[in-house]
A and B are shown apart, each in its own frame.
Chain A
Amino acid sequence: MKKMVIVLTLVMLIAGLVLALSYSAFQPRIAANQAQALQESLAALFQGSGKLTFTKIPIDQPIIYVGKTADGKTIGYAVRVSGSGYGGEIQMLVGVSTDLKKISGMQVVENVETPGLGGRITEDWFRKQFEGLNPDKQIDYVKNVKPDPAKNQIEAITGSTISTRAVTTALSKTLQQALPAILKADGASGNSK
C-alpha cells in the first residue's frame, strides 16, 4: 500500500516537472505563432494599404483592433467575430472602413465546416461579397437569385445554408455591437491623428 502511494506520487511529480519545463521551452514559440497568425489575418483585411499596425481597443467585448499606417493615419477597424456554424465554432475577422459606413473585408480565421460545402465560406468569391456592405444593417443571404448589395444581401453557398446563415448572423450581430463601441472608444469618422 505504502509503495503504491510513493511510486504514484513520484511519477506525478516527475511528470509535472517535465511538463512545466516543456511548457517554458515551447510557449514563447507558440505565442509568437499565434501573434503572427493574427497579424496576417488583420493585414489581409486591408490589402494594398502598406504596412499597418493594429492596436486593440481597451474593451472586453467585442474584440476590436484599430489599424493605422506608419504615419499614424487610421485605415480602418477590425472586429473579431465568433459564430456557431454547422460543424462547430466559426471565427472570423471583419474589416470596417474608418467612416464606419462600409465593410472593407472578411477573413475566416478558423472553422470546422464540411470541406467542399460549408467550408467554402473561406473561398474568395464568398468573402468578397461582404466588401462594400453596410455594417450597420442586417446582412441577409439569398438563394438561387442574384443578391442585391444595396439591400445588404449576399448569395448563399449552394447546399450550405446553415454555414452561410451562421456567418451572416454572427457578422450582423457583432457589428451591431462593435460600431457603438468604436464610436465611444475612438471618436469615429475620419480619425487622422
Chain B
Amino acid sequence: MAGTSIVSEFTKGFGRENPTFVQVLGMCPTLAVTTSVANGLGMGLATLFVLFFSVLITVIIKKIVPDGVRMAVYTVVIATFVTIADMFLRAYVPPISKALGPYVPLIVVNCIILGRIEAFATRNTAGRSLVDALGMGAGFTASLIILGAIREILGSGKLLGFQLLGSGFHPLLVMVLPAGAFLTLGLLMAIFNAVKDRDSFVVVEGR
C-alpha cells in the first residue's frame, strides 16, 4: 500500500496483521509446539528463516515465473529452505529438532509463507517485501513465545527449563495437551483483538 512507512510494514506483523491472533494462519504448529518457550522460539526462528529466504528468492525470480507454474515454483522454493532448516537443526541443535519433530518439515504448508508470497511479495517492491517477511516472521515468533510461556509456566511450573513456581504448585497438565493449547490461544486471541479494536467499539444505548 502506498504511503505505509517501512517501519509500519515491519510492525504490522506484531500488531494489526499478527499472523497468529489476527490472520489466524499457521495454527497447526502454533498449537502443537508451544508446550514450552524454547520450542516456540525454535519453531518461530525456523519459520522466519524460511519466510525471509523464500521471499528473497521470490522477489528475484517473480518477473520470469509464468503464471501457470507460480504455485509449483514457489512451493519448491519454500520446501528447499525448509529442508535446509531441518538439516541445520538436526546437525547443530538436536534437542530442539527432536522436540519439534515432524513440525519442522510441516513448515512447508504453513500458510503464512505462501500467504505472504502470494499476497505481498509478488505485488510489492523487494525492499518492502523483505521487511514484511521479517515483520511477519518476528511477529509469529513473538506469538509463539507468549503462548509457549503461558503453557510452560502453568503446565510444568518452569520457564525456559528453569523451575519458576515452587513445589507447592501442582502443574495444570491440560496446558501441555491440545485442549490447553486451544483454550490459551482462544483467550489470547480474544484479549488481543479487544485491545487492538478498542477504539472501534460502539456503545449502544440500551433501553
Q: Is B206 engaged at the interface, CB distance under 8 Å to the other chain? A: no
Least CB separation from A22: chain B residue: B84
Residue pair A23, B87 in contact (C-beta under 8 Å) = yes
Residue pair B84, A4 in contact (C-beta under 8 Å) = no
Residue pair B76, A15 in contact (C-beta under 8 Å) = yes
Partner of B94, one of A22, A37, A112: A37
Q: Is B69 engaged at the interface, CB distance under 8 Å to the other chain? A: yes
Residue pair B94, A3 in contact (C-beta under 8 Å) = no
Q: Is A125 engaged at the interface, CB distance under 8 Å to the other chain? A: no
Residue pair B91, A8 in contact (C-beta under 8 Å) = no
- Tally of A-B Cβ pairs under 8 angstroms: 54
Residue pair A7, B176 in contact (C-beta under 8 Å) = no
The complex places the Cα of A18 from the Cα of B75 at a distance, in Å, of: 15
The complex places the Cα of A23 from the Cα of B90 at a distance, in Å, of: 11
Residue pair A115, B35 in contact (C-beta under 8 Å) = yes
Least CB separation from B98: chain A residue: A110
Residue pair B80, A18 in contact (C-beta under 8 Å) = yes
Residue pair B90, A22 in contact (C-beta under 8 Å) = no
Residue pair A22, B83 in contact (C-beta under 8 Å) = yes
Q: Is B164 engaged at the interface, CB distance under 8 Å to the other chain? A: no
The complex places the Cα of A144 from the Cα of B177 at a distance, in Å, of: 26
Residue pair B91, A4 in contact (C-beta under 8 Å) = no
The complex places the Cα of A114 from the Cα of B88 at a distance, in Å, of: 27
Residue pair A7, B87 in contact (C-beta under 8 Å) = no
Residue pair A115, B91 in contact (C-beta under 8 Å) = no
Q: Is B183 engaged at the interface, CB distance under 8 Å to the other chain? A: no
Partner of A7, one of B64, B88, B177: B64
Known A-B contacts A26-B87, A26-B91, A33-B91; A8 and B171 likewise in contact (beta carbons under 8 Å): no
The complex places the Cα of A15 from the Cα of B82 at a distance, in Å, of: 12
Residue pair B88, A26 in contact (C-beta under 8 Å) = yes
Write out the residue numbers on chain A whose beta carbons fall within 8 Å of the beta carbon of B76. Answer: 11-12, 15
**Shortest Cβ gap from A92 to chain B (Å):** 16
Least CB separation from A11: chain B residue: B73
Q: Mark B37-69 against chain A: 1 for CB-CB distance below 8 A, else 0.
A: 000000000000000000000000100111011
Q: Is B173 engaged at the interface, CB distance under 8 Å to the other chain? A: yes
Known A-B contacts A22-B87, A116-B171; A29 and B92 likewise in contact (beta carbons under 8 Å): yes
**Shortest Cβ gap from A110 to chain B (Å):** 8
Write out the residue numbers on chain B whose beta carbons fall within 8 Å of the beta carbon of A19. Answer: 80, 83-84
Residue pair B91, A3 in contact (C-beta under 8 Å) = no
Least CB separation from A21: chain B residue: B84
Write out the residue numbers on chain B whose beta carbons fall within 8 Å of the beta carbon of A18. Answer: 80, 84
Q: Is A30 engaged at the interface, CB distance under 8 Å to the other chain? A: yes
Pairs of residues from A and B, 4 with the lowest C-beta to C-beta distance, nearest first: A29-B91, A26-B87, A26-B91, A15-B80
Q: Could you show 20 A-B contacts with beta carbons less than 8 Å apart?
A: A4-B66, A4-B68, A4-B69, A7-B65, A11-B76, A12-B76, A19-B80, A19-B83, A22-B84, A22-B87, A26-B87, A26-B88, A29-B92, A30-B90, A110-B98, A115-B173, A115-B176, A116-B171, A116-B173, A117-B173
State the A residues within 8 Å of B (CB): 3-4, 7-8, 11-12, 15, 18-19, 22-23, 26-27, 29-30, 33, 37, 110, 112, 114-117
